[in-house]
């Protein structure tokens, strides 16, 4: 049986960490380990971690290095065969430990996977697998939907009359392979994580799990969701205007690093239109300074990002058309407001995307 290393990155996480650690204490096995990487908490988080079961390795960084670097410091100290990155406020449900290793034991061929992340004490979905729009905008799939009973991926299930269900079990989702796997509960063999270089540390916070997932897919890996491995996440999308600066800078960093050149060329008109639309949205909603800051930081980082792009693209094992098929033209997220509800926009995006896929396929032939 594989040993498990759970890595939790904390920053002023004292109120959240206790329930998570107590849930882990009843599930971790002999040979497993818990590593808590603390990014300069000022609320006594490391002291509390040392007092609570299970016994944890505590790494105090001495500065707020960000989530990405914290994950990497934890992975570098880990010794388990399977690595799981877990948010401090993501409390594992009963049976989580057995379920999170199941994809590895079953030989599903996934390079990385996530658990089913719920909210409101397991009542609602927080994410059942991330979604990546072709513009690089990404969101939590199924957020806010009611949690239904878990079924095996791909297994048929019926209602009381024996008829096929009208909609798929949202614990699994209509597509068993997500666009990206959530860093709230992300499992990956430790060797694979280290070989791909871990998280992009310059991202600091947000979109780092999207970038990691796309790099893994670019190298030929498959992603998955294990719905029986549930964690309940105390999640809130709104975290102030500063979040938008990180999201927008890192979205573009992901596009530059991971998207094949042919795909970027075909998407150039859509990306330009998206930037113009986001400028208007940012101005109306009060985060225009953060959008402009993201552009400035991106421009400063461009030489580095182009160097990283060469390294990332050097690992590519699939064609641009296959990479693109993991993306979506749909804007079906409650976080996207009116854009997600616009039927004309949806029709235009689908048509544009069909053309892109046809051209990518023709280029490969």
Cβ–Cβ under 8 Å, residues 134 and 353: yes
Rounded CA gap, 138 and 136, in Å?
6
Query: Which residues of the chain does CATH 3.90.550.10 include?
Result: 4-233
Q: What is the CATH number of domain 4-233?
A: 3.90.550.10
In this structure, the number of other CB atoms found within 10 A of the CB of residue 186 comes to: 26
CA 111 – CA 220 distance, rounded (Å): 9
Query: What pLDDT score was predicted for residue 365?
Result: 56
What is the token pair recorded at 298? 């991106």
For residue 253, the number of C-alpha atoms closer than 13 Å in the C-beta half-sphere is 33
CA nearest neighbour of 270 among 260, 278, 281, 280? 278
Q: Which residues contact 364 (CB under 8 A, 6 or more apart)?
A: 319, 320, 321
Q: Is the pTM of this model over 0.85?
A: yes
What span, in angstroms and rounded, lies between the C-alpha atoms of 267 and 344?
Answer: 19
- In 3-state terms, what secondary structure has residue 195? helix
Whether the upstream peptide bond of residue 292 has omega within 30° of 0, thus cis, is no
Task: Give the pLDDT confidence score for residue 167 in this predicted structure.
Answer: 33
Q: At what angle do helices 242-258 and 261-285 cross, to 10 degrees?
A: 170
Residues near 255 by Cβ (< 8 Å), separated by ≥ 6?
136, 264, 271
Cα separation, 35 vs 57, in Å, equals 5
Is 214 within 8 Å of 325 (Cβ atoms)? no
Q: Which residues contact 212 (CB under 8 A, 6 or more apart)?
A: 112, 180, 183, 186, 196, 198, 199, 200
Alpha helices (H) in the chain, listed in sequence order: 14-25, 45-51, 66-77, 96-100, 102-106, 190-195, 208-218, 242-258, 261-285, 288-313, 320-324, 338-341, 343-364
318 Cβ neighbours under 8 A, 6+ residues apart: 217, 218, 220
pLDDT, mean of each 10-residue run, the chain (365 residues):
97 96 97 98 97 97 97 98 98 97 95 97 95 96 85 36 36 66 98 97 96 98 97 76 91 98 98 96 94 97 98 97 95 76 91 96 73
Q: What is the pLDDT of residue 362?
A: 78
Nearest to 88 by CA among 168, 167, 23: 23
């Amino acid at each position: 049986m594989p040993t498990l290393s759970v890595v939790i990155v904390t920053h002023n996480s004292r109120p959240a960490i206790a329930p998570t650690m107590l849930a882990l204490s009843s599930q971790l096995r002999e040979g497993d380990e818990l590593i808590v990487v603390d990014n300069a908490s000022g609320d006594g988080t490391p002291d509390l971690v040392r007092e609570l079961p299970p016994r944890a390795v505590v790494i105090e960084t001495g500065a707020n290095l960000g989530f990405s670097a914290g994950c990497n410091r934890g992975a570098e100290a880990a010794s388990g065969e399977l690595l799981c990155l877990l948010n401090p406020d993501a409390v594992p449900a009963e049976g989580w430990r057995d379920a999170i290793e199941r994809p590895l034991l079953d030989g599903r061929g996934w390079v990385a996977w996530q658990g089913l992340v719920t909210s409101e004490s397991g009542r609602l979905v927080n994410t059942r697998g991330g979604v990546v729009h072709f513009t690089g905008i990404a969101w939590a799939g199924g957020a806010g939907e009611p949690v239904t009973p878990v079924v095996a991926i791909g297994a048929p299930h019926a209602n009381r009359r024996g008829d096929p269900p009208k909609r798929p079990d949202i614990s699994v989702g209509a597509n068993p392979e997500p666009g990206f796997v959530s860093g709230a509960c992300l499992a990956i063999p430790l060797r694979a994580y280290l070989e791909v270089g871990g998280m992009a540390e310059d991202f600091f916070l947000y979109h780092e799990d999207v970038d990691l997932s796309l790099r893994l897919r670019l190298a030929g890996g498959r992603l998955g969701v294990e719905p029986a491995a549930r964690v309940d996440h105390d999640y809130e999308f709104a975290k102030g205007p500063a979040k938008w600066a990180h999201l927008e800078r890192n979205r573009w960093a992901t596009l530059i690093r991971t998207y094949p050149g042919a795909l970027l060329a075909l998407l150039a008109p859509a990306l330009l239109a998206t930037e113009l639309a986001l400028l208007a949205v940012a101005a109306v909603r009060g985060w225009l300074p953060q959008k402009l800051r993201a552009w400035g930081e991106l421009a400063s980082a461009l030489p580095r990002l182009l160097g990283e792009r060469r390294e990332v693209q050097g690992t590519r094992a699939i064609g641009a058309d296959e990479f693109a098929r993991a993306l979506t033209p749909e804007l079906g997220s409650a976080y996207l407001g009116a854009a997600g509800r616009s039927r004309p926009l949806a029709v235009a995006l689908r048509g544009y995307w069909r053309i892109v896929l046809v051209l990518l396929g023709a280029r490969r032939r």
